[in-house]
Structure formats: structure tokens, C-alpha cells
């Protein structure tokens, strides 16, 4: 096997490796995207659970507050009623903040998943671009090695005295 054939084989193997590397990187990014989608689901579920717990706590606290006022003989009007309403409003604000933070966490995880998908597509394309670059960079080497062995080419003409024409049936000029 000639040097040219070995060079072509090595180039082919290198190109195959570059394409495979891009595909493997794409698989890793696709896996990361799936993990981030699961993370988004878990963030949503955990947030929903915390909100439900906060609502129950709000209800219990309101009941405890009303019972404490009733046990103390305080009428639920005026300032005591305003305190209960303010407490309920503050607790509802806490619930809304928790819901907002949960939504932000879900969006962030989904955005990261989308970015991972794009990164995977870029990695796969990069593998093909690298393989193409490798092929293109080897063309001059291949052409120059072919010119060395073709009679009548510029390099072969300058080296006529070293070429044995007897084997080809071509006469030397």
C-alpha cells in the first residue's frame, strides 16, 4: 500500500472520528436537556407543594388568631379584624412570591434544556465541519503526491532523469 493510500485512510479515519465525536457530544447535550426538563417538572411540583403547605398554614394561623381573640373576649371588628386581614394579606403575598419564584425556576430549567438541545446541534454540525476541514486540508497533499508520480507533470518533468520510462513503454525525449 502506498503512502498516498495510507494518507487517505488516515484522513478517512480522522474524519470518521470527528463526526463521531460531534454525535457523542450531541448525545451528552440531549441527555442534559432531558435532565433539565425533569428538573423543571420537579421545581414545579416542589413549588406547588410549598404553596399548598403555605395555604394550610395560613388557614391554621387565621383560625388560631380568631380563636385567641375570641378567648380573650375581643370582638372581631375594628383593629382586631384589621390585624387578621393584614396577616392574611401578608401570608398571601408570601404565597404569591413563592409561586413567582417557582415559575422562574421552571422557566430557567426549561431554557437550559433548550440551550442544551441547541448546543447538541452545534456539536454535531461542528463534527461535520471539522471532518470537512480535515478533508480539504489533505487535498493539497494528495494532489502533490499524485503529481510526483504522473509523467509529464511539472514536478515529474523536472525529475525526468530519475524516472525509469522502460517500465511504461514511454520514450524519453
pLDDT at 156: 46
Examine residue 162 and state whether it is found in any structural domain, yes or no: no
User: What range does the domain containing 76 cover?
Assistant: 8-139
153, three cell numbers: 507533470
If one counts the domains in the chain, the total is 1
Examine residue 31 and state whether it is found in any structural domain, yes or no: yes
pLDDT at 75: 81
Q: What is the pLDDT along the chain (173 residues), one digit of tens a residue?
A: 576 788 888 888 999 999 999 999 999 999 999 999 999 999 999 999 999 999 999 999 989 988 898 888 888 778 888 888 999 999 999 999 999 999 999 999 999 999 999 999 999 999 999 999 988 888 887 777 776 655 554 544 444 455 555 555 555 55
How far from 115 is each of 2, 39, 41, 96, 124, CA to CA, in Å?
A: 47, 14, 17, 28, 14
pTM metric for this prediction? 0.64
Examine residue 160 and state whether it is found in any structural domain, yes or no: no
Examine residue 151 and state whether it is found in any structural domain, yes or no: no
Examine residue 88 and state whether it is found in any structural domain, yes or no: yes
Amino acid at each position: 500500500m502506498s503512502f498516498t493510500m495510507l494518507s487517505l485512510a488516515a484522513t478517512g479515519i480522522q474524519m470518521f472520528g470527528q463526526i463521531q465525536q460531534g454525535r457523542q457530544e450531541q448525545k451528552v447535550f440531549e441527555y442534559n436537556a432531558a435532565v433539565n426538563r425533569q428538573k423543571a417538572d420537579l421545581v414545579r411540583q416542589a413549588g406547588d407543594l410549598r404553596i399548598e403547605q403555605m395555604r394550610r398554614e395560613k388557614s391554621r394561623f387565621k383560625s388560631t388568631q380568631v380563636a385567641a381573640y375570641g378567648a380573650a373576649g375581643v370582638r372581631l371588628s375594628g383593629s382586631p379584624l384589621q390585624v387578621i386581614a393584614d396577616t392574611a394579606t401578608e401570608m398571601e403575598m408570601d404565597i404569591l412570591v413563592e409561586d413567582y419564584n417557582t415559575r422562574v425556576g421552571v422557566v430557567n430549567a426549561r431554557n437550559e434544556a433548550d440551550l442544551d438541545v441547541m448546543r447538541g446541534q452545534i456539536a454535531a454540525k461542528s463534527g461535520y465541519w471539522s471532518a470537512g476541514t480535515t478533508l480539504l486540508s489533505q487535498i493539497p497533499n494528495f494532489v502533490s503526491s499524485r503529481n510526483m508520480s504522473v509523467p509529464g507533470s511539472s514536478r515529474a518533468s523536472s525529475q525526468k532523469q530519475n524516472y525509469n520510462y522502460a517500465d511504461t513503454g514511454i520514450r524519453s525525449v
